[in-house]
Amino acid sequence: VGGPAVNRLTAQAMGLSYPTYGSSGLLPYGEGEAYVKVYDGVFKPGQVVVVVAGWEAENTRMATSLLQQFDTFAEQLGSNTAVKVTSLSASGVKPA
C-alpha cells in the first residue's frame, strides 16, 4: 500500500525506480485518482502482489476502502487486473 514515491516495493512491482513521483509522468494514474493493480510473478514466479496507490494519501485511503467493500464493487472490479478509482461510486471505478 502506497505509491512508488513512498513505497520501495510498489516502485519495484511497477517497474519504476524508487522514489518515482507523479510529476514524472510515469504513473498509470493521475491527480485525484487511486490505482489498484494485481501483478503476477514480479517478485517470484507464482507470487501475486496487489498494489494499492493514490496520487495523495487520501486517494490511497479511498482505494483501500474500495477493497474493504469488495462485494459492493464486484461488478466494477470484475475480472480487471487494474482499476482507477476517482470515487467510491459505481461510476468512480474504471478499468485502467
Domain ranges of the chain: 8-88
User: What are the cell numbers at 26?
Assistant: 510515469
Phi, psi of 79 (to 5 degrees): -100, 10
pLDDT band at 15 (very low <50, low <70, confident <90, very high): very high
pTM, full prediction: 0.93
Q: Contact at 8 Å (CB) between 32 and 5?
A: no
Beta strands in the chain (DSSP E): 34-40, 48-54, 82-85, 93-95
Nearest CA among 82, 90, 73 for reference residue 35: 82
Note the pLDDT of residue 89.
95
Q: Is the Cβ–Cβ distance between 64 and 52 less than 8 Å? A: yes
**Residues 29-62 pLDDT 10s:** 999 999 999 999 999 999 999 999 999 999 999 9
How large is the average pLDDT for residues 79-96?
A: 96
Report residue 72's pLDDT band, with 50, 70 and 90 as the boundaries. Answer: very high
